[in-house]
Structure 1
Amino acid sequence: AVSLATQRVVRELEAVTVYAAREGDLTGLAATDEELPEEARRGVRVPGLDRLLLDLNPVSPRTMLPEDVEVWREEPQEDVSEEVDGLVHELYDRGMPDPDVEFSLGEEGESVSAPPVVAFADTLREAARRLDTLVDGGIAVFVACSSRGEARRTVYAFGEIHRTMRETGRVDADLPPGLYALPGEVEEGFTYPEGGVAVFRRNSLLGRRREARRRTGGRSLASFADLKVGDLVVHAMQGIGRFEGLVAQEVLGSTRDYMQVSYRGGDTLFVPYEQMELLHKYVGGDGARLDKLGGATWAQVTDRVRKRVKALAGELLRLHAARASAPGFAFPEDGEWERELEEGFPYQETPDQEAAISTVKSDMQRPHPMDRLVCGDVGFGKTEVSVRAAFKAALAGKQTMMLAPTTILVQQHERTFRERLGSYAVRVESLSRFTAPADRRRILADFQVGEVDVLVGTHALLGSEVRPRDLGLVVVDEEQRFGVRHKERIKEYKTSVDVLTLTATPIPRTMQMGLASLRDISVIETPPAGRRSILTHVGPYDEDLVKHAIEREVARGGQTFFVHNRVESIDEIAERLRDLLPSVRFVTAHGQMPERALEGVMHHFLDGQADVLVTTTIVESGLDVATANTLVVDRSDAMGLAQLYQLRGRIGRSTEQAYAYLFAPLGATVESQKRLEALMDFTELGSGFAIAMRDLEIRGAGNLLGAEQSGHIAAVGFEMYLTLLEEAVAAARGEPQERREERPVIVELTLDAYLPPGYVMDEIERVDLYRRASGLGSLAEVEDLAEELVDRFGALPEPARNLLGLSRVKLLAREVGATSVTHRSGNLTVTGATAGSAAPALIRKATGGTVTTRTGRTSVRAAGLDPLTLAEESLRALVRAG
């Protein structure tokens, strides 16, 4: 059995049975053949066909309802506990991550029929008062929590409002009346007065809590590291070329694999595996030109970009220092009200989200203005971070302004803030073009005298007529979508009040690390575990399939996006859809509509007054519609992968299964077919699309650093730009930083060292393994890679063993400061290493050979040892000699 995450073997199996994913053979069903769809009779898979199975069942299927539940057990709890502990240890021994196992078994007892409990309170205090009534009536009240950690937090929260609650391991009617926290999940709560027991789900105690599965694990957003023949690559010293594949070459009697890179004018560079760390896939937009091998252009371009990046780093450092020395308001630490607000959060925070919230609050408590960027995809919890910050500001008597680029987002943010803060006497208002003049004047007047705590609006909030009484926090959603003048006004705020910026555009992790000392960035990249992967269909336009998809979504109470990206024919398409589905409510939106009409249509859809939004790609960002879980894209072949990625991100934001239909004609170009295939390949949550995610990261870099920097990224490629940025940041902080012109240790040993195609058959997999081998940082990492190769591909052939041996030689050579290790005519020469006085004796003992030393040069000759063993043993002796 192989771990999907690491591709390593976790245990051996004697046999494996592979079942069909679905029943595909429909022959022999003559009696029902006429009832099958035409596609099914031809052997083509029909979506939803499996759901017809129950219609053929002669016996009515049994339905189990939650109202009648029998609690039972088959083994004593101690036996089950021992069995679970043994299973956990067994999985751990096999290399599995340590699983978080929690279980609880009740006593064997009678069946009870009890109505499920619904949410019945808006605050924790109100919930406690109602639970007091049950306890006073002689009932033991159990609050079921999703984990032991949540049980402890619940005990603490009740203690803060002067209620005694104890943690218990099971529901026990023999316990005295009181409040008990119970680690364990229950589907529904119930009250059973005759038995003196009531059970509540922790999530349903407060009326504003919505149903949510616990978020655990989740896959982080993945980054793109794939390379294929024909892709552009960047060599750190030679510039942009085209990867032509791996080629085996014999040089001086040794066979090695080389990466073949072609340059302008037909020149070719063969890069050995030891230097593959100098190569990166070029990512920086379309239109890049190949460089001339050995030409001066590449050096000129990198020098120009280096100067621009240096100026950028200096400006960032200046702003950071000015903000660090400017006086600001130090908000007090959290109190009881903040903890109660946290308890009312509808979901369990992901680790990323908790870290972002904690960091933002820590920033606010410092006596200097905060300027923090929180990055995360829509639905990952950025808005909750701003809610917590705004609540903290309100409790300190400070006001908050939240800026959003569109009135639709203003409406969504206002709704969220009111849901979360309405029961805490925090007044939330909004201003947009839809606000009546009289209401606008009243809201502005109340904001000026401090009666409005949170004001949400578009860039209009930056006008002179908006005069807060005591502003403490400015939240900016998607700052890059504001104009230059508005950005300048926001920049002014950053020197006097706390500023929190939210963005859904991904920012590369390497850039986050490089800017860590100059820009405060928090990243929320863990998606909710309750979300499901989007099922994606790619194929030619099929009107019957469109009809089926929309009908299914309407039947479950959801909504659909139908994307047709040609304004001149969008009304005609909408009319055809209305004829196809006369009972479905359609609305149309595109960018050439008057702005007020467009916003009206969007609000109409957001409020659930339409089932299908027929639209252009204007919906690719900024809309958060949890009930929209079907996407239909007409002519998806005409769109870029990044655009398709963002479009598909409009759906799948709830626990409902989401469906994406990407239609393209059969005659689509090869390039467009590759884009669509990529969408099919990357359906996992948070995996991102190979090219699209990196394309979006470039946008994120431009948004973060300025539009000019996007051009510099295009000039030298993403990875090279990050290297230059890292140098510039270190220089701006006064840290010594050498020019990053890699000078690898030269290792010349006469032996075959490569991964044979018959051993690792996939060429791209071999490239990846070569890159990993060239970047190994310790002898332990070499052994880990060796174990992985044996695990995945079998016993190491001699060329593969030699390849890993060369990695060890290179690491040992670096450790002793050597610049080259060569073996010619039976003589090993190590150049550049400083040999201690004990070195000759140690080398002789390790190799049995003769040793000659001069300043910076050690020569060893030993009969009976192959070049690799001689090099390893000699270098290990030099390491021991110090």
Structure 2
Amino acid sequence: DWPIRVEVLSRFKSAKDIKAVLDQVAEGKVDVIVGTHRLLQDDVKFKDVGLVIVDEEQRFGVRQKERLKALRAEVHLLTLTATPIPRTLNMAMSGLRDLSIIATPPAHRLAVKTFVAPWENETVVEAFQRELARGGQVYFLHNEVDSIEKMARDLQALVPEARIRVAHGQMAERELEQVMLDFHRQRFNVLVCTTIIESGIDIPSANTIVVNRADRFGLAQLHQVRGRVGRSHHRAYCYLIVPPKLTSDAEKRLEALAAIEELGAGFMLATHDLEIRGAGELLGEEQSGQIAEVGFSLYTELLERAVTSIKAGKIPDLDAGAPIGPEINLNLPALLPDDYLPDVHARLTQYKRISAAKTVDRLKELQVELVDRFGVLPDAAKHLFAVSELKLDAARLGIRKLDLGPTGGRLVFDAKPNIDPMSVIRMIQGQPRVYAMDGPDKLKMKLELPDAPSRLRAARALIATLAQG
């Protein structure tokens, strides 16, 4: 009854059915074609493709995605993923791709509780029995086809009451399909499987997953696997079984996964993956690497400067240091105190956001957010925002340094300040006992400024006077 025609291409269709669908696609009789990598083969011809949607984008290589885009010059491309690969995330964060984040989980959905532990029979038995006792189902992920049958037998000996079946990608299509349908219909309660379940499986009654040798998986892959459970209102559990000794990268991946388990954490995990593995090549085929030596923040800063220079028709000078803003020293505490924001990582994040603010309005937004999240700002935090605001005003005027203390201070100008020299002369002539030049680029001040409020008022008044000209 619908006005559009939808067809499917996958290995579960017969050759005759596939040929019929391909002919209709080539003739333009099919409006929407849903398929696996099968859509990328040479015998698939489209009459007039306008939109390509790639779900689970992390499963595709660069060549495959570029092939999809090459189907037609004006094709629109939308990629969907819970964990973007480093190259894609880097392109989005550097402005080369548009990015939208859906961070709101479905109603009544609970986060998956994650445990990292070495193999112990008691742990596995407890995980199985807890889930089976509440009438649920269990995934046991063992990613070695050669030994998967033996693992299933060992688990059956450990948990005799479990009804266990096996699923992997080397099984015949019909057999695999039947196993998955039986699991969905709860005809057995433990599925020993490979990463074939990584995406596209939605079984609300399966709420425990045990991943054997989790150290061999990537961060994005582990997050995808963990996402197979917790797809209803029940609390789900993920057990990552690891050997006693881990490589440093594996340890970082597992720490990140165990620490970030809240709903919608995929994007945050993807940024960790980007830092661990690197950003890959924007114009080449590598989807990770190239970032380990400099760190993510410096890498994105260098990339942004290069893109800005090229857009302006200049050759990027990547050896030049980052621009340093004015130095404002009022000899007063300007910081986020430990007792206000105890978490070190959270403090560093807020410092970075404050220093990156380019407008007074942005600083006010951050101030409102801090009050909303952590309570009324202490004086030291208020001073931090006041000094940051002074830095923005000083940068616009070409002031390099402002130093104020109990008995006054001095102001240092840039080589070419954005200030009318006559305004400085008028200040000196109007109050010769307060203001005096000290060399060609320094203005000295003699003022009684005993406390923080008086220094902030004096700094604001001075910058406002110079700005008026």
TM-score tier (shorter):
0.7 to 0.9
Q: Is the 8 A contact 2:140 2:209 kept in 1?
A: yes
**Structure 2 segments unaligned to the other structure (5+ residues):** none
Aligned: 1:546 with 2:130: no
**Partner AA of 2:413 in structure 1:** T
1:875 aligned to 443, 449, 462, which one?
462
Alignment correspondent of 2:413: 831
Deviations 1:184-208 (A, max 9, x none): xxxxxxxxxxxxxxxxxxxxxxxxx
Q: Report the Cα distance in structure 2 between the residues aligned to 1:813 and 1:506, rounded to whole angstroms.
A: 40
Helix, strand or coil at the partner of 1:771 = helix
**Partner AA of 2:32 in structure 1:** V
Helix, strand or coil at the partner of 1:820 = strand
With over 3 angstroms needed to count, the CA separation of the structure-2 counterparts of 1:776 and 1:520, relative to structure 1, is closer
Q: Report the Cα distance in structure 1 between the residues aligned to 2:315 and 2:386, rounded to whole angstroms.
A: 31
Helix, strand or coil at the partner of 1:684 = coil
Alignment correspondent of 1:439: 17
Shift in Å, 1:620: 3.6
With over 3 angstroms needed to count, the CA separation of the structure-2 counterparts of 1:639 and 1:735, relative to structure 1, is same
1:744 aligned to 325, 331, 334, which one?
325
With over 3 angstroms needed to count, the CA separation of the structure-2 counterparts of 1:657 and 1:445, relative to structure 1, is same
Q: Report the Cα distance in structure 1 between the residues aligned to 2:221 and 2:234, rounded to whole angstroms.
A: 23
Helix, strand or coil at the partner of 1:707 = coil
Q: Report the Cα distance in structure 1 between the residues aligned to 2:368 and 2:20, rounded to whole angstroms.
A: 72
With over 3 angstroms needed to count, the CA separation of the structure-2 counterparts of 1:585 and 1:811, relative to structure 1, is same
**Partner AA of 1:829 in structure 2:** L
Aligned: 1:850 with 2:437: no
Q: Report the Cα distance in structure 2 between the residues aligned to 1:838 and 1:520, rounded to whole angstroms.
A: 46
Q: Report the Cα distance in structure 1 between the residues aligned to 2:422 and 2:310, rounded to whole angstroms.
A: 42
Shift in Å, 1:647: 2.0
Mapping for residues 36-435 of structure 1, pairs under 5 Å: 423-424=1-2, 426-435=4-13
Aligned: 1:722 with 2:309: no
Alignment correspondent of 1:588: 166
Deviations 1:338-359 (A, max 9, x none): xxxxxxxxxxxxxxxxxxxxxx
With over 3 angstroms needed to count, the CA separation of the structure-2 counterparts of 1:675 and 1:510, relative to structure 1, is closer
With over 3 angstroms needed to count, the CA separation of the structure-2 counterparts of 1:680 and 1:650, relative to structure 1, is same
Alignment correspondent of 2:73: 495
Helix, strand or coil at the partner of 2:140 = strand
Shift in Å, 1:534: 1.8
Identity level (%): 40
Mapping for residues 550-589 of structure 1, pairs under 5 Å: 550-552=131-133, 555-556=135-136, 559-567=137-145, 569-581=147-159, 584-589=162-167
Shift in Å, 1:753: 5.5
How many residue pairs align between the two structures? Answer: 449
Q: Report the Cα distance in structure 2 between the residues aligned to 1:813 and 1:791, rounded to whole angstroms.
A: 30
Alignment correspondent of 1:318: none
Shift in Å, 1:709: 6.5
Moved more, 559-568 or 779-788: 779-788
Shift in Å, 1:505: 3.4
- Larger CA Rg, structure 1 vs 2: 1
2:224 aligned to 646, 652, 662, which one?
646
Alignment correspondent of 1:85: none
Shift in Å, 1:424: 1.0
Q: Is the 8 A contact 2:82 2:224 kept in 1?
A: no
Shift in Å, 1:574: 0.7
With over 3 angstroms needed to count, the CA separation of the structure-2 counterparts of 1:879 and 1:652, relative to structure 1, is farther
Helix, strand or coil at the partner of 1:711 = coil
Alignment correspondent of 1:861: 445
Deviations 1:183-236 (A, max 9, x none): xxxxxxxxxxxxxxxxxxxxxxxxxxxxxxxxxxxxxxxxxxxxxxxxxxxxxx
Helix, strand or coil at the partner of 1:819 = strand
**Partner AA of 1:875 in structure 2:** L
With over 3 angstroms needed to count, the CA separation of the structure-2 counterparts of 1:543 and 1:718, relative to structure 1, is closer
With over 3 angstroms needed to count, the CA separation of the structure-2 counterparts of 1:520 and 1:660, relative to structure 1, is closer
Q: Is the 8 A contact 1:588 1:614 kept in 2?
A: yes
With over 3 angstroms needed to count, the CA separation of the structure-2 counterparts of 1:637 and 1:689, relative to structure 1, is farther
Q: Is the 8 A contact 1:835 1:856 kept in 2?
A: no
Shift in Å, 1:637: 5.8
Q: Is the 8 A contact 1:645 1:689 kept in 2?
A: no
Helix, strand or coil at the partner of 2:127 = helix
Shift in Å, 1:529: 3.1
Shift in Å, 1:494: 3.0
Alignment correspondent of 2:395: 814
Aligned: 1:512 with 2:81: no
Helix, strand or coil at the partner of 2:166 = strand
With over 3 angstroms needed to count, the CA separation of the structure-2 counterparts of 1:622 and 1:727, relative to structure 1, is farther
**Partner AA of 1:545 in structure 2:** E
Deviations 1:222-263 (A, max 9, x none): xxxxxxxxxxxxxxxxxxxxxxxxxxxxxxxxxxxxxxxxxx
Helix, strand or coil at the partner of 2:240 = strand
**Partner AA of 1:821 in structure 2:** L
2:206 aligned to 625, 628, 633, which one?
628
**Partner AA of 1:512 in structure 2:** A
Shift in Å, 1:741: 1.9
Q: Report the Cα distance in structure 2 between the residues aligned to 1:761 and 1:482, rounded to whole angstroms.
A: 42
Q: Is the 8 A contact 1:836 1:881 kept in 2?
A: no
**Partner AA of 2:322 in structure 1:** E
Q: Report the Cα distance in structure 2 between the residues aligned to 1:669 and 1:605, rounded to whole angstroms.
A: 33
**Partner AA of 1:837 in structure 2:** M
Q: Is the 8 A contact 1:532 1:685 kept in 2?
A: yes
Helix, strand or coil at the partner of 2:290 = helix
Mapping for residues 479-490 of structure 1, pairs under 5 Å: 481-482=59-60, 486-487=64-65, 489-490=67-68
Q: Report the Cα distance in structure 2 between the residues aligned to 1:620 and 1:633, rounded to whole angstroms.
A: 12
**Partner AA of 1:876 in structure 2:** I
Q: Is the 8 A contact 1:816 1:878 kept in 2?
A: no
**Partner AA of 2:172 in structure 1:** A
With over 3 angstroms needed to count, the CA separation of the structure-2 counterparts of 1:789 and 1:864, relative to structure 1, is farther
**Structure 1 segments unaligned to the other structure (5+ residues):** 1-422
Alignment correspondent of 1:604: 179
Helix, strand or coil at the partner of 1:512 = helix
Q: Report the Cα distance in structure 1 between the residues aligned to 2:365 and 2:58, rounded to whole angstroms.
A: 46
RMSD: 4.6
Shift in Å, 1:575: 0.9
TM-score scaled by length of structure 2:
0.74
Alignment correspondent of 2:288: 710
Shift in Å, 1:495: 1.0
Q: Report the Cα distance in structure 2 between the residues aligned to 1:790 and 1:497, rounded to whole angstroms.
A: 44
Alignment correspondent of 1:658: 236
1:687 aligned to 239, 247, 265, which one?
265
